[in-house]
Every structure is written in structure tokens, then in C-alpha cells.
Amino acid sequence: MKKRVTLILISLLFLTGCAPDFLFPAREEEPDSRFYDVVEDEAVVETVAEVADPVPFAVLYAGDDITRALYEPDMGAYLGVWLGPGMNKRDFETTVDKNHAVFAIDMTIGDEFPTTWILQAIAAQTTPLIILRMPEDAEDDFPLAELASLAYELGNYNLPMFVVFNPLTTTPAMSSEDYVLLFRYVRIIFRTYAPGLAFVWHTNDNTSTTESPFYPGHDVVDWVGLQALAAQGPEGFYADIIETLTPFYLSFQRYKPIMLLPMGIGHFSRRDYVYRVPEAAAEITRVYETIRDSFPRVRLIVYGNHGNTTAQGDDFSLTREERIIYAYQEATADSHFLSRLEQGGTDGPLWMRGAYSGYYYQGQIFVDRELLIAKYHQLPAQATEISGRAHININDVNGLIIEADHTRQVIYIKLP
């Protein structure tokens, strides 16, 4: 397949006049570290506290000016929905009493063009998101004509759209070299025929980073996406969406806006045929509040309103249980969650999430010493050990503005 794609790509470059630097992934240089991956100096931790119950706080710091990606909002996160069979967007939004900015569909290259679906999205004043998959026989017969035709037809609508191309699974069907070459090749086609579409790289592996061999490069990716599902069983949730998100988020937050696709919190499973609705409702509240407060560059959450979609029969739907509907209504009522698309592309500072937690302990706020030393070198010698790491009491730090929101359990750090 690599030879076939390479030949087609070279031909396409001559036909479209694209610069040859698209042939190979071009990665941006990593900027200087700010509040993460900093080697601590040799200062001695003079005091060590035996901490019984420190309360962890997320730490956000004022980052540098960054150009927003295509359709990335200045603040907040778009709401989106990926509906299962038997429900349309109007019925869903009536049920949850909330308009959603993005409407998702799953299709394979070569499928019939989704004219009706796009017209429904236009009528509903929502933005289409297409999860575009390669056909199973693509290695033997690459669908160049179908791909170009799809890009051309989508471009004719001249509408904002998202395209999530060839999402990565836990066991990719091709090598990293073939995957990257294919992604970059398809990106050229869409830039040629549908330049107004935001292109998304997506994975279900939360350990993926900007250095992953499957990451195609910053120059061909507008947004990055991650699957965020939490099925529930007799022992509780099998995954914590916040813990799943964190390492992926820390790697990409400086470079790309992040979407969760799909988001799903289970309330029923055929593992034991037990409904756990109160637990699911509480988890919906917790997850949306935590993303709002502590993950400022999660810019789109697409809830997968599907029924039994796993081998174990996990039900992630929102609209079958009144208590879950109410929890979702309450969680998304905050103005942080957006119902209409913004054009994006503006410049401005972003709040960045620190790699280490701060803590509220014995009536005081502490911030990780390694996190502080990257930005402010005149730190007090005295530190307190919390959870195995050296922390500084914010009352002992001069020259930075450090504020704590105890309701949201977030510490904000910025220069005066």
C-alpha cells in the first residue's frame, strides 16, 4: 500500500501544485518548558510533613499567546452529539433542553454522500462532524476517486465542518509509516477541495503524545481527539474519564485543541443486568464540572448517545433515564458549554494545566516546587513534602499572583 500511496501522492503534488514539504511529517520544535518536565535543582527540602488528608487542587498557569486553531473558541467547549439509530437531533435537543453546536456521523469512504444528513445539520444550525473511515479493502484498491469526490462535494457546501479521519484503534491496521503517509496524503486532498474543513487526528490510546510515531505532525492536524468512555459494573466504573484524559491533555494542550469523541458514561451493562443510574448521573456531573474547571483546552465534547454498543452490552445513552437527562441538563447549563460554533483563529493567552497537583493542607495552599521553579527562581528554601514531592506554601512566594478557588479546587498562577 505504501508504494501505491506514494505514487499517487507524487502525482497529486504535480497536479495540485502543493509544496513538497507535505511528503514527510514536519514536526514543530518543542518550545522551552514552562511548568512541566523541569529538572529540579539541588535545594534541600527542609521540612517534611506526614500528610494524612491533603486535598488535591488542579493548577492552571497563564501560558503564552497561542493562535487558536480553525473553529477553536476563545473560551469554553462546544457541545456535540453522536446519535444512535432511531433518534434525530431535534428530538434529542428537545429531550435534554440544550442546543448542541456539533452533529456527528460515522461513514466509510465510498458510502453514499450524506446529503440529507448535512441538510438536517444546516436546518438545525449545527456544525457537521464526519468520522471518516477507510474501507476494509483499501490496501488492495485505494479509493482515490471516491475520496476526491467526497472532499469536492463537502467543499461545495462552503460550511464549517470537522473531519475525523481514520481514527486509530488500540491495534492499528497498518504500520505507523503507512498511517502517517496516508493521513498526510488525504489532508492534501481535503486542503485542495475543502480547505474550510478542520482536520482531526483521533485515537483511543490516552498514552499517545506529540512524539507518537502515529501522530502525523502539527502542520496537517487542526484538532486532536480522544475516546472517553466509562462503562460501569459491580465494582464501579472501569475507567475514570478524567484520569484517562490527563496524560493526553498534558502532551497536546500547548499545540492543539482537544475533543472528546465519543464521551460516554454507562448506566447499565449486560455483565450483570443491573441499572446504576444514580452513579452515572453523579459521574456526569463530576466529569463535566472537572473539564470546565481544570481542562481549558478541551474545546469539544461529543456525547455518544448510543444504546448497547459494546460486547458487554454497556448502555451509554443519555435519553433513556430521567435522572440522567436531568444530570446532563444541569451539567451543561453552564455558559462554558457552547451551543454555536465560533470562527476561531484569534491570538491570545491560554490557561495551561500543570503536570502536578497543588494541595490544600492544614489551612494553607501549596504548589509543587518543580512547577514553580520553571517560572520563578527565587523560591524559599523551606519546602513541605506532600505525597512524596516538595511543595511551596504560596504565602512564601513573592513576585507571582497565585489565587485559589476552593469551590472548584483550582489554583491559578500568573505574573503580576
**What per-residue confidence (pLDDT) applies to 30?**
37
**What per-residue confidence (pLDDT) applies to 11?**
47
Domain ranges of the chain: 33-62+350-414, 69-345
Q: What is the DSSP string of 163-210?
A: EEES-B-SS-SS-HHHHHHHHHHHHHHHHHH-TTEEEEEEES-TT--T
Domain at 69-345, CATH homologous superfamily = Glycosidases (3.20.20.80)
- 8 Å CB contact between 265 and 284: yes
**Looking at the domain 33-62+350-414, which fold is it?**
Ubiquitin-like (UB roll) (3.10.20)
Closest CA to 58 of 394, 367, 335, 336: 367
Q: pTM value?
A: 0.86
**What per-residue confidence (pLDDT) applies to 21?**
31
Residue 383 DSSP code: -
Q: How far apart are the first and last CA of the chain?
A: 56
Class of residue 227 by CB neighbours under 10 A (exposed 0-12, middle 13-18, buried 19+): buried
Q: Find all residues with CB under 8 Å of 197, minimum gap 6, and list them.
A: 154, 155, 160, 161, 162, 163, 190
- 8 Å CB contact between 181 and 2: yes
The per-residue pLDDT string of the chain (416 residues; one tens digit each, 9 = 90 and over) reads: 554 555 454 444 444 444 333 222 333 333 333 333 333 444 444 444 444 589 999 999 987 778 889 999 999 999 999 997 777 888 899 999 999 999 999 999 999 999 999 998 988 889 999 999 998 876 667 889 999 999 999 999 999 999 999 999 887 888 999 999 999 999 999 999 999 999 999 999 999 999 999 999 999 999 999 999 999 988 899 999 999 999 999 999 999 999 999 999 999 988 889 999 999 999 999 999 999 999 999 999 999 998 666 777 899 999 999 999 999 999 999 999 999 998 766 777 889 999 999 999 989 999 999 888 876 666 777 889 998 999 999 988 887 888 999 999 999 998 77
